[in-house]
Structure 1
Amino acid sequence: MTLYEAELVVDRRETAADGVLSLALRHPLGEPLPVWEPGAHIDVVVGPGLERQYSLCGDPAGRAVWRIAVLREAGGRGGSAYVHDELEVDAKVRVRGPRNHFRLEPAARYRFVAGGIGITPILPMLAAAEQAGAEWSLLYGGRTRNSMAFVGELGRYGDRVTIAPEDESGLLDLAPVLDDVPEGTLVYCCGPGPLLDAVEARCPAGILRVERFRPKEAEPGGTDTGFEVVLARSGRTVAVPPGRSVLDAVRTAAVEVLYSCTEGTCGTCETDVLEGEPDHRDAVLTDEERAAGETMLICVSRCRGRRLVLDL
């Protein structure tokens, strides 16, 4: 699939919360931007060979601008600092996308849980659920009320939204949201790892959809032994030794492949598997997708046997 890629211009720049910057990006010639669905993100080039993924959090029906919100991370690798410090109004930035591994599936009821900047992919989902006439609620937590983005926008939904800053009410109380979930309900959650782990531990099987901003801790039983990868379209076979990723091996063989985060969180390098059993180590694919074994994220995932055949 060919993704849209363009140099966009910062149209608006606003403070969404303490440490959170909201940017509206437009095409320099006013051309309409591609359509997208709730849960989608774009890649933002923040330096040579350096990209970051940010969720689209505006109106999917509005094609004049794309809105993202970026938390300044004190211990980050420079991506958020670049956005906060360099992307003033009228500044240009290269983007790619949109891409979506966190789609809002049809359901009669939704329970949304967001932590901190994890509100960004959830925000357009609320509008979509509202438009579809679904029953829904949102539990939204953060360190302080002032650090929680878009609280003002959420006010229009009334008591379906529970704002729960940690300094006012402690850690999020998940019991009212996740205990006794009615049939036909899907749970969507985005936020820091500990919140996602707590929601996963409490949720009935099959109803939870999550998006992680950080890699999930590797499950026990994985192996780092070497294996070979056959690149079906390129007619080449490459060795993947212990401690080296499939992505690295493929790139060394001069085979072109899209990639970005190299941590198994963005989905850019998802590749079709033609033969073999992947050892999935990403934070993107669902349990059903992992069981099917039809695709894998080659930046982190490996092989459970001695050989994989990939559509590359």
Structure 2
Amino acid sequence: MLLKKNIPLKYVLGKIKFEILLVAVYTLVIVVLHDRFNLKHMAIPLSVPMIMGTVISLLLAFRSNQAYDRWWEARTVWGGIVNDSRSFARQVLSFVDETSYDSEEVSHFRERMIRRQIAWCYSLSQSLRGLDGKEGLERYISKREVSQVSRYANVPMALLELHARDLNYALKQGWVNEYQQVALDQMLTRFSDGMGKCERIKNTVFPATYSLYIHFALNFFILLLPFALIEYFGLVEVPLVVAIAASFLLIEKMAIHLQDPFDNKPTDTPMTAISRTIERDLKQMLNDHQLPETTVNNEQTFYIM
């Protein structure tokens, strides 16, 4: 996720540097041909690209809104994961009373469940980005559990299954009653629902034909623009056309990046940072003072992942 400050101009213009270079060369060629050969018939009425520009602006605005809705839905889902993870840890700690049973075994059970929940958050974020969902799990769960989940294609689902097995074991041991077991199982269902919503967003492709039509219309608008301005500005139209084209191209690029919130880019939903926040909160609930490091360096970093 891009931060409010310190976004370098190099990053912004780097998204369209090749397109801008082509526009500048193309416009310069049009200007040179017009001036050298006095080709007045090359000019077209300014109203033609103005009408196209208005239509394209509306289409880009609609597409940007749709792309932002996808990004915001992803962020909302992960906001729910934060709340549910905290509630899950609180329930595990409050429902399972280590003073009434074998304190060592119960304490191990509580810690295992909460640390596995931290592992689930990291694993889900890695899986959604197309990375290895097992990477780094050994910091939170045992080698035996890492080996078990490695057999699954969907590692986060496997971790939830381990949650369910431990929960059934706790019920048989009498550490939780039936009502508490149902409440905890409902939390697992909420985690599964959140994972499914994220997978739906990732696997639902933004309509390709819609994007393609807008892209073609935008390119045609940029191609016409130098011919409409050549009678008024001469050589000055090169930076003017570049500036206008850059405005439209940046909006298009913004929509393209926002429409895929799990694509491992600076514009992504900050799942790693959110998972680190969950880790911090849950470890503090366990009285574990080995907290994760902060992720943002205000002097150098302009985004968080």
TM more than 0.5:
no
Q: Which has more strand, going by share of residues?
A: 1
With normalisation by structure 2, the TM-score equals 0.24
Q: Which has the higher contact order (CA 8 A, sep 6+)?
A: 2
Structure with larger Rg: 2
Q: Which has more helix, going by share of residues?
A: 2
With normalisation by structure 1, the TM-score equals 0.24
